[in-house]
Structure 1
């Protein structure tokens, strides 16, 4: 059962063990204000429920070696779903977030919400049959999706650039629960990616982190004190509306003039290259009609060293670096995680963006955040969506 009540001492102990991998009773006594006898009873109860298991012995400090406890990965299971413009991805995970099964689908014009939910249902059934588990053993399905969203009610509102026009006001959580018979929880994909990467970097004790996804537009998530920062409305795409050049262009005739997304996005990159080609610039792509100059073609030309394409990717990366510097100077994160098609297109993009961000970060290098493309990369959204369920799981 997923609830929003304050965590019990049992849940707090479970989370502590989960976060640290293996923990001794002595470690737990140092962290929790609870009597030794009470903690012993609690641990015995959790073992009898199958929540935790003994996993060997720790180092001795003179007496008997302490028993180490870890969470039981097979006690329950989690489903994580990413819904994006280009593809959707479903994963089945154990309680140690090990990926047991994974599949993905292209989001073409025929991929309506109803079709995707049915495909998810069939895949989930196949995953569970393969692992020999029932739906009662699955805590639920977490969903990381392109916004804007009504997160509270589990509705995808009006996302742009989906190949199928039917992705508007979609009660996706209600649809998934009806098909799968398990709870569903929705958040924007940038937030779930950040949740996933934060878990992957748990050994670094990261409290403050920024995630930026550069693709069809700019999407972002922020974390402070280990918790996602939320505004009054879904703000996943708001960073893309940061004005970095007054009276500049705007993307698709929407949003602010001179906004970050008008300089750092797949559509803006494609349009700039097409414009340069129409002005007679020499390129490997000079013989192509404008409609053929898409992102896939640009990535290929970049890999072949095309000077024009390299110039435009570099310009995109520099603007991304400026946007990052503005965010870093406002938020001061410990980690800055960059993802999305533009960032993964070529090392040039990440390296240039980071270089520009560092040059424009206040008090650098005294204050020096870690820049990374993440540990989970393509699986971050789906994995983080699954972790959402684990965070809100109330133990009986």
Structure 2
């Protein structure tokens, strides 16, 4: 059995389990430290040179590791240097949005080798949409020219309630007892890990984005819905059932607007892409003007409003500012509770930049405790549309190479 087969086999035990764990440790060492000798690996892994040599030969036969030849030494026999084979293994990330997919592939050394952003896809909670998801992902893999048999695994993000440990999605494609991750594995032919989109975006920014030395972070995902990814002491926080971060469903308003969760008065009913679209259309119907006024009102969507704001449309800017003030009050609650080092503003609404950041910052100064707020930095997402893709790639890589 090759490494590619072993890493996707969940029922390994005994000697086979120890063997794959050792291989993961060695590959992780290469990723972190670069090329090394058998002596270097012995010192780290704590096994004999003959055992390390045997494992290295198996990884060489699998095409993952290469012998780079002898190196100079201060005395005695010259040791051989080993390293990863470039392009020997990859990880796929898929970030599912309301009307498109963002996809990308990284290699073992965490380099981004291919991306495809805003690939058209209509997310609906039915079997037709799920079948289309299989098709678009397979088509992307073909277009990327990355050999499918070298993709070690895929991370897929969805909004809503995701249990990453069991592979269940409770908001989309939960049609029977089989976990969504297993459906995807069966139809795509690779190991699949599910994640909530806000958490994946938070991890993307933490791993390769705007985060510096900070370890306690909140990522506010301002999209069609409203979610938060929570990082505490450098680790994603999931909560008891894996559903932490449902920021949009905090009961915040005394209104009669039905939320997608089935309850009324949620923060998301007045602070989200769906809410912005509804309110913007109501304003147009009542006589307000906009550069979108010439469009059929039924065709106007969230993205149109964002683009209008970026083109200095007064109505779009005003409604985004009003939403930012309400959102700032909600974030103030989070800051008072978590006292984070950093709050990152991301998602589609984050593309409006200062139009959303300034009213949020103003509300934070007004509603959060000053002693707490003074220690919290507010930054816009650095990775933008790629944050979820990069987070998904890094998470699936970490999970597949984990030796725990």
TM-score band w.r.t. shorter chain:
0.7 to 0.9
Partner of 2:87: 74
Does the aligned pair in 1 maintain the 2:204–2:394 contact within 8 Å?
yes
Does the aligned pair in 1 maintain the 2:339–2:373 contact within 8 Å?
no
Are 1:144 and 2:154 matched, yes or no?
Answer: no
SS at match of 2:252: coil
| Candidates 104, 117, 141, aligned match of 1:124 | 141
Alpha-carbon distance between aligned partners in 2 of 1:37 and 1:303, rounded to the nearest angstrom: 54
Deviates more, 1:138-147 or 1:346-355: 346-355
Does the aligned pair in 1 maintain the 2:346–2:380 contact within 8 Å?
yes
| Candidates 101, 105, 112, aligned match of 2:119 | 105
Partner of 2:343: 336
| Candidates 51, 72, 86, aligned match of 2:99 | 86
Shift in Å, 1:234: 4.7
Partner of 1:209: 217
Shift in Å, 1:302: 2.4
Does the aligned pair in 2 maintain the 1:10–1:395 contact within 8 Å?
no
Are 1:96 and 2:109 matched, yes or no?
Answer: yes
Are 1:226 and 2:239 matched, yes or no?
Answer: no
Structure 1 pair 363–39 and aligned structure 2 pair: CA distance change class (3 A): farther
Shift in Å, 1:222: 0.8
Does the aligned pair in 2 maintain the 1:117–1:175 contact within 8 Å?
no
Are 1:319 and 2:326 matched, yes or no?
Answer: yes
Partner of 1:302: 309
CA-atom RMSD in angstroms? 4.1
Structure 1 pair 107–392 and aligned structure 2 pair: CA distance change class (3 A): same
SS at match of 1:206: coil
Structure 1 pair 273–92 and aligned structure 2 pair: CA distance change class (3 A): closer
Cα deviation per residue 1:95-137 (whole Å; 9 max; x = unaligned)? 222222233531238962112213322332443xx34x451x3
| Candidates 156, 159, 162, aligned match of 2:169 | 156
Partner of 1:376: 383
Alpha-carbon distance between aligned partners in 1 of 2:244 and 2:402, rounded to the nearest angstrom: 31
Shift in Å, 1:37: 10
Deviates more, 1:97-106 or 1:70-79: 70-79
SS at match of 1:393: helix
Aligned positions of 1:1-396 closer than 5 A:
1=7, 18=31, 38=46, 49=59, 74-103=87-116, 105-108=119-122, 112-127=129-144, 130-131=145-146, 133=147, 135=149, 137-159=150-172, 171-201=179-209, 204-235=212-243, 238-245=246-253, 247-252=254-259, 255-285=262-292, 290-364=297-371, 367-394=374-401
SS at match of 1:244: coil
Structure 1 pair 207–106 and aligned structure 2 pair: CA distance change class (3 A): same
SS at match of 1:280: coil
Structure 1 pair 275–361 and aligned structure 2 pair: CA distance change class (3 A): same
Shift in Å, 1:39: 8.6
Does the aligned pair in 2 maintain the 1:52–1:71 contact within 8 Å?
yes
Cα deviation per residue 1:154-195 (whole Å; 9 max; x = unaligned)? 233334xxxxxx775684422332233321111111111122
SS at match of 1:232: coil
TM-score under structure 1 length normalisation: 0.75
Alpha-carbon distance between aligned partners in 1 of 2:22 and 2:224, rounded to the nearest angstrom: 44
The answer for unaligned runs of 5 or more in structure 2 is 1-6, 12-16, 69-80
Alpha-carbon distance between aligned partners in 1 of 2:245 and 2:43, rounded to the nearest angstrom: 48
